[in-house]
Structure 1
Amino acid sequence: MPPMGHKYGAVAVERDGMRFDSKLEAAYYDHIKILVTDGEVVGFLRQVPFHLPGNARYVCDFQVFWRDGPAG
């Protein structure tokens, strides 16, 4: 049986020595880097785990820290 592809047809890519699960995720990384250079974002983290009730765990792609505080 041939190996299964990604459920949504995403193609993994590499940027700055890091692997991203999709071209869209890598493009967002590129966008955040520009925002850091422009001073709108002070920093960001990748693949941040959140431990939720019921022994559930959610891993977000990016946690972004904006210069003006939380977006809302």
Structure 2
Amino acid sequence: MSRSARAIPLSCLGPDALRQIDNVLFAEREQGKLRAEKKANKFGAERTKVDGVWFDSKAEANRWSVLKLEERAGLITGLERQVPYDITINGEHIAKWIADFRYVRDGVAVCEDVKGVRTPVYRLKAKLVQAIHGIRITEIAA
């Protein structure tokens, strides 16, 4: 083993060396946090913040803004976001579907999902939600 490859106990290092090691470790931790925050969505959606609320995509955030305006104008009422629906069959919980938005328009309840990609799992959940809860999902293209 060469001299440079030998392990040196930290107790043998001076304060400047320990500070440098601490700075390197801190920088590596911070870079890891940044990488985790910037992790790309597999469908290319970009998390977006509107009115202090985070949305999974720009399209969903834009739709929220439109619905908020419609609510202020009195076109819709009872606007909610991220409304969960359990998918339970024969007493067994199978899955959960979360509606992006739910509101009432002209006396009719509407459940919306902003969709960029209609995955097979989403299509199956949409059919199950319709069969179990009687809800037809209104899809808004991203």
Q: Which residue of 2 aligns with 1:34?
A: 69
How many Å separate the matches in 1 of 2:60 and 2:82? 11
How many Å separate the matches in 2 of 1:30 and 1:5? 24
How many Å separate the matches in 2 of 1:7 and 1:69? 37
Matched, 1:69 2:107: yes
Aligned residues: 70
| Higher-RCO chain (CA-CA 8 Å, sequence separation at least 6) | 1
AA aligned opposite 2:100? D
Trace 1:1-72 onto structure 2 (pairs within 5 A): 4-54=39-89, 55=93, 56-66=95-105, 68-70=106-108
Richer in strand (by share): 1
Percent identity, please: 33
State the Cα distance separating 1:43 from its structure 2 match. Answer: 2.1
How many Å separate the matches in 1 of 2:72 and 2:81? 17
What does the per-residue CA deviation read over 1:8-54, in whole Å, with 9 as the maximum and x for residues that have no partner?
10111101110001000000000101111111111211100001124
AA aligned opposite 1:65? V
Root-mean-square deviation (CA, aligned residues, Å) is 1.9
Question: Which runs of 5 or more structure 1 residues have no equivalent in the other structure?
Answer: none
Richer in helix (by share): 2
How many Å separate the matches in 2 of 1:20 and 1:44? 15
Return structure 1 stretches of 4+ with deviation > 6 angstroms: none
Question: Which runs of 5 or more structure 2 residues have no equivalent in the other structure?
Answer: 1-34, 111-135, 137-142
